[in-house]
Structure formats: structure tokens, C-alpha cells
Amino acid sequence: MSMGLVLFILMAALEIALAVVTCVKSDDKKVWRRNRLFVRIAQIVIAAAAILIPFGQKWRLTGVIVSLAVLAFIVALVMLIKRGKEEGKMRRSKAIVSAVMSIVFIGFSLVPAFVFSGYKGLEATGKYSVKETSAILVDGSRVDPFEDDGSSREVPAHFYYPETEKGSAEKFPLVIFSHGAFGYYQSNFSTYKELASNGYVVAALDHPHHAFFTKDTDGKTVIVDMDFMNTALNLSSEMGAEKLYELYTDWMALRTADMNFAVDEIKAAVTAGAVDGSWFVSEKDGGDILTVLGMTDVTKIGLMGHSMGGATAVALGRERVDISAVIDIDGTMLSEYTGVENGELTVREEAYLVPVLEFNNWTSYNDNKEYLAGGGIHPNVELIKNASYGFSVAIRGTEHMDFTDLPLLSPFLGKMLGSGERDTAETMTIVNSLVLDFLNCYLKGEGVFTVRDIY
């Protein structure tokens, strides 16, 4: 039983007890208000104790305590104002309604305790402290296809980078990350932190309307396009190969254009030592953006992503000559489909020249083995087979979301969206370690990268 549920049961039991006492023993309004104040104080003590007790996750209950404290203050204030006055009896129906409303309020207040943990990221292994800053890159050459006002496509970029001593001339390779369908730029926060602490500049992109939510240059929250989300959730072979190929092509075109633009803008800004009009930077982040650009080595660039973001990274690895390493974290390589023949999707056969590392969840790994045994062709398998330096890893006991930090941030959402039996912290530790070793090899020239097929 989760801590959130335990707290809800305890607090609701106090409300029910108050209603029972009022209905059975004493229906005096003064007594009811006094008892209600005691109940509020008891609930505050329970919530405060839950913060101090190491019970599974560390729940975020500060808001609950504040809300209950406000209610307790209101009850005490009413008692003070009406003291000494004849108030009569408390109707049973009112006592019951009050208990029900309080229980509903407590339930809503405890949503963070049910849904979110106090996760702050896995401990990084590198010697550098990690700093963050952000900007929004505005592509004046493209109209956002999801907007109806002709506005330019915007690509938020969130930077994670090493904190160095003032005046340091150190340069660090650039790694650009793309999130999955209706994902979020922080989906792999522990990976960014691990890389930055070990001497990398990481730019995690948001793809507006493909991201669950992000912000635009007006400060407006941009949420995921529901048509895109519904389509992505309900993909099926029953749609037919032609329709699937059309969807894959459209999605990859949007995302690769976003990532291409981000790579070009970052390279141009690093070379110039300044940002141009395409960069929307807040006053708060202005100095930090120049700092991070000043330490970025754009002669060493790696691309990576989760799910559809991994497919985006793979696509650019074919298109660009300035990419030195690509990582696909549990994503089907959609750009490797080349068309439709005899009702089946066809897959690219050309060699893949950039070093590439892919991760597979355990269910997909086993499903693909059966599919291939039956004569099927999978784009990831073909690419790794044809890659000059291709590595494929499967991790036992995992599902799709275990390759992100989401199950650690919210075990509830992680299970709902796809989390396996293996501890996600263990999975992400493996992923982050292999990602670091791979990039150290192919971006920094350190050592020889080796990996097992299964972990």
C-alpha cells in the first residue's frame, strides 16, 4: 500500500469519526467545532510525520500541511468569534456533508503524494557540478504546422553543462537529446546530469505539440496535439502499411527539422561567440547561455533520444556528416522505412556509417525475436547489422518507460504507461553508464567500447 493511500485512509477515518460522534453522541455546534479543530490538528501532525518517516518514497506533503493549517486557522477563528453565543444543535445531514466535502478536499490535496515522488535524479558520478539554462530557438524559415496564425516554428532547448572555474578554457563535446512522443525535455534528466558531470554539454529539446507540454516565446503553455497523441497511442497494422508510412514520414520530417535547426543554430552561435535573432533568451538566462556556448566543442557532436526521439537521432545520423555518435533509447527507427511494397513496409539496406548504440526493453526484444523468426524484417535489426559500429543492448525485466526517469518521478504514471518488474533506478544506472562509456569512446576518443547483448 502506498504512503499516499495510507495517509488518505488515516485522514478520512478522522473525518468519519467526527461525523459519527456528532450524529451519535453530541450534536452541539460548539462541541462539533472544537472536535473539528482537533481533527485538523491531528491531520497536520500525521502529514508532518509522514515527511520525517523514511517510508518508500519521500512524499511531497508541504502543500497538504499548508492547506490543512489554513482550514484549522479558519475553524479556530470561527470558534473565537462565536464563543459564548448560543449556537444550537448541529444537524446530522450537515455533519455528514461536511465530512464528505473534507474527504474530497483531502483526496485532491494528496494527489501529489499518490502520483509524484520526491525524486531529484540519480547521483552523478562525474567531478563537475551541473548547471542548467535554457533558450527558445525560433526557425523563421518554417511555419509551425500546428498553429493557425502563421507563426514560426519554435524549438525550446534546455542546456545541462559542467560548472567550471571562472576563466576556464575547457571545451566539452555537445550531446543533443530528443524526447519521445508526448514526452518532455526532462524525461532523461539523470542521463543529462550524468553526462554533464563527466564533461559534456547536453541540449535537451522540446518538440512543441509533440511534447506533453512546453512554453513558447510568449510564455504560453503549449500542450500536446490531441490528434497526434491519439494517433500515436492507437497505431496498428490494421491501418495499413501505406498509412503507417505516411504517418512515420510526417513525424520524422517535423522532428528532424527541429533537431537539424538546433544543431545548426548552436554551431553558428558557438562559432560567432554570440547568439543571433533566432535565439529567444530571458534576461535571467542571457549570461548563462553565452557561458555554455563558450565551453561547447561543436567538432564533437552526439545525438540521442528516447523512443521517437531516438528515431530522430538515427535519422540525422544518416543526413549529417558532422555527427560522431548516435544513441537510440528504445525507439523504433522510423526513418529506416523506405516505402511500401506488396502491402509491406520496406527497410533501408545501406550501410550506417556513424557509431550507433541502441537499447531495447525486454518485452520488445522477445517479441522481435519471434517476429524475425517468422520472416519479418525490423528496421533496427537491419541498421545494426549494416552499421560500421553498431551495438544493441536489451535489459531484462524492463518496459518502455523504464528507459526514462518517469517511473522514478512518478511510480503511478510509470506503471500506467509501461514499467517492468526491474527497478527503474537499476535500469537507468545501466543505461547512463553505457551511454557515458559509448560517448567517451566516440566523442572523446577514450578506450574501446564493449557491451553485452543482455543485461
* DSSP states of 382-444: HHHHHBTTEEEEEETT--GGGGSSHHHH-HHHHHHH---SS-HHHHHHHHHHHHHHHHHHHHH
Res. 213 pLDDT band, cuts 50 70 90: very high
Query: Which of residues 90 and 201 earns the better pLDDT score?
Result: 201
Which has the minimum average pLDDT: 250-254, 269-273, 341-345, 409-413? Answer: 409-413
Query: Which of residues 108 and 443 earns the better pLDDT score?
Result: 443
Q: Is 51 exposed, middle or buried (0-12, 13-18, 19+ CB in 10 A)?
A: middle
- Distance (Å, whole) CA 272 – CA 7: 56
The set of long-range contacts for 110-113, using a CB threshold of 8 Å and a minimum separation of 24, is 110/4, 110/7, 110/8, 110/11, 110/61, 110/64, 112/59, 112/60, 112/61, 112/63, 112/64, 113/3, 113/4, 113/7, 113/50, 113/59, 113/60, 113/61, 113/64
Return the half-sphere exposure (C-beta side, CA atoms, 13 A cut-off) of residue 356: 31
Note the pLDDT tens digit of each residue in 353-382: 999 999 999 999 999 988 898 888 999 999
**With contact defined as beta carbons under 8 Å apart, do 265 and 140 qualify?**
no
**With contact defined as beta carbons under 8 Å apart, do 335 and 315 qualify?**
yes
Q: Which helix (H) or strand (E) holds 288?
A: helix 286-294
* Among 346, 345, 376, 378, CA closest to 360: 378
Note the pLDDT tens digit of each residue in 31-67: 877 887 888 788 777 777 766 665 444 445 566 666 6
Mean pLDDT for all residues in the chain:
89
Q: What single DSSP character describes residue 89?
A: B
Q: Specify the pLDDT at position 6.
A: 75
Name the CATH architecture for the domain at 130-444. Answer: 3-Layer(aba) Sandwich (3.40)
**With contact defined as beta carbons under 8 Å apart, do 326 and 387 qualify?**
no
Q: What 3-state DSSP class applies to 376?
A: coil
Lookup: cell for 397? 525485466
**With contact defined as beta carbons under 8 Å apart, do 307 and 329 qualify?**
yes
Q: Specify the pLDDT at position 429.
A: 97
- Distance (Å, whole) CA 184 – CA 14: 39
Q: Does residue 446 surpass a pLDDT of 70?
A: yes
Model confidence, pTM: 0.80
- Helix, strand and coil percent figures for the chain, each rounded to 5: 50, 20, 30
Q: Give strand pairing partners of 337.
A: 347
The backbone torsions φ and ψ at residue 323, rounded to the nearest 5 degrees and listed phi first, read: -105, 130
**With contact defined as beta carbons under 8 Å apart, do 443 and 323 qualify?**
no
Q: Which residue has the cell 494517433?
A: 231
* Among 379, 351, 255, CA closest to 305: 255
- Distance (Å, whole) CA 418 – CA 398: 9
Extents of the domains making up the chain: 3-115, 130-444
Q: Name, in order, each residue with C-beta under 8 angstroms of 300's C-beta and a sequence gap of 6 or more.
A: 173, 174, 324, 443, 444
Q: What is the DSSP string of 225-266?
A: PHHHHHHHHT--GGG-HHHHHHHHHHHHHHHHHHHHHHHHHH
Note the pLDDT tens digit of each residue in 106-157: 777 666 655 666 677 899 999 999 999 999 999 999 999 999 999 999 999 9
As a residue count, the chain comes to 455
